[in-house]
Amino acid sequence: MRILFVSGCAWGGSLASTRELAVHVRQPGCESFLLARKPMGTRLQPRLHKRLENLHAKLAASPVHGLASWLARQPGSEPTRFDGADPRVPEWRSPVPANACLGLATRLGCDTVVVASVLRPQWRQIQHDLRTNGVRCVLYLREDALLGHLDPASPPDLLIANSKVLQREASERGLDCEFVPSPVRAPALPADGPREHVLIVNFDEPYGGETALHLATRCPEVPFVFQDSWNRMSHRIETLSARIDELGLRNVVVRPFDPCLEEVYSGARVLLTPYSRSIRNARPRTVMEGLACGLPVLASDLPGLREVAGDAGIYVSPEAPIENWTAALRSLWLDREGYEALARRARQRFRAERVTGSDVAARFLAVLTKDSGLTGGRAAVR
């Protein structure tokens, strides 16, 4: 088996999970490769490609549709080799992965393409190209937005979700779907290390950055660390730092992206995930990493977060007033016996989930190769 993994992300947790899975499925009888999005060099490039896509759609019934299609497929059609990530898996980058997918899969002799985190027009293009050329196409659901890609009349050859709630959502749309969680590496931290601050990983608004700031304002006695989860432009951190200065917060530290998990989670006492409902089904790898470190989770009461944190979490409605978050945090911070019980359950939960790279790779390959006749088609009537 030769698998090409395709990610519409240039950074972040989805790409990290895809890359880690691509690394661990490489074993005798299976080779893997990765195609990810390359950030476009200027603002003009994404605008131009978007206009070409729109032109292609508008001219569907026009005699010049073929020319519009050819033009839309040119940006990024020749991917470049990328050597800045994990050396264990060959990786390419393209500003438009959909335009590079078929050509790269053909050149590498891949029989299976696994697609994650792409926009709907790119998914449709990839699916059409692969189906036309007899290459198996797998859609890997990693976020709520991809549910909009699902069409029971034109399903992928195989549909996989990294959370059970996404799996159920797919089933409710009339599609068979397998569950394979994202692989997670446990940070190598001592169990008796210092536990000194509340940690929020990714402080963008959908992930609850504003709630975390209000919580830090209400709890000046509690140290907070806002950890950037992407290797992005520095202005994101500068904007947050200016806001912290404006609020006069002396209990907040902002840290830039760090690929070392041990540095990210060292010293943390509580993992804070006050997500909004826009990502209600997400099963974030950061929560599982935190559980591996024995961190109780203070989380929004959302299906995805409950699925991953389970009985190692304390949950507050995303719409609850900040007083509710404040009470929950202070209870967790001050109740030593209750805290230790949650910390034990966190480690137990991580072990029980079996989400190490080798475990997940075995489950993933079993789904790809099982002889059950599952093709991602319509679910059986129950």
145 and 6, same domain (yes or no): yes
Domain with 311 in it: what CATH number?
3.40.50.2000
Q: Which domain holds residue 349?
A: 195-353
Query: How confident is the model at residue 54, as a pLDDT?
Result: 59
308-320 pLDDT, tens digit each: 999 999 999 999 9
In a domain, 374, yes or no: no
Distance CA(367)–CA(380), nearest Å, equals 18
110 and 249, same domain (yes or no): no
Distance CA(36)–CA(43), nearest Å, equals 19
Nearest to 350 by CA among 299, 303, 300, 313: 313
164 and 203, same domain (yes or no): no
265-288 pLDDT, tens digit each: 999 999 999 999 999 998 999 999
CA 295 to chain centre: 20
Distance CA(251)–CA(240), nearest Å, equals 14
169 and 202, same domain (yes or no): no
In a domain, 189, yes or no: no
Contacts of 144 (CB under 8 A, 6+ apart): 166, 278, 279, 280, 281, 282
In a domain, 98, yes or no: yes
89 and 200, same domain (yes or no): no
Q: What is the pTM of this model?
A: 0.87
12 and 152, same domain (yes or no): yes
Number of domains in the chain: 2
214-261 pLDDT, tens digit each: 999 999 999 999 999 876 656 778 889 999 999 999 999 999 989 899
Residue 329 CB coordination number (10 Å): 21
User: Which pLDDT band holds residue 62 (cuts at 50, 70, 90)?
Assistant: low
Query: How confident is the model at residue 40, as a pLDDT?
Result: 64
In a domain, 348, yes or no: yes
Tell whether the model's pLDDT for residue 166 goes beyond 50.
yes
In a domain, 41, yes or no: yes
Distances (CA, A) of 302 to 165, 247, 308, 310, 355: 10, 29, 10, 11, 21
Query: How confident is the model at residue 378, as a pLDDT?
Result: 37
Query: How confident is the model at residue 61, as a pLDDT?
Result: 54
Tell me whether residue 361 is exposed, middle or buried, using C-beta atoms within 10 angstroms of its C-beta: 0 to 12, 13 to 18, 19 or more: buried
Question: What's the chain's average pLDDT?
Answer: 89
Query: How confident is the model at residue 75, as a pLDDT?
Result: 83
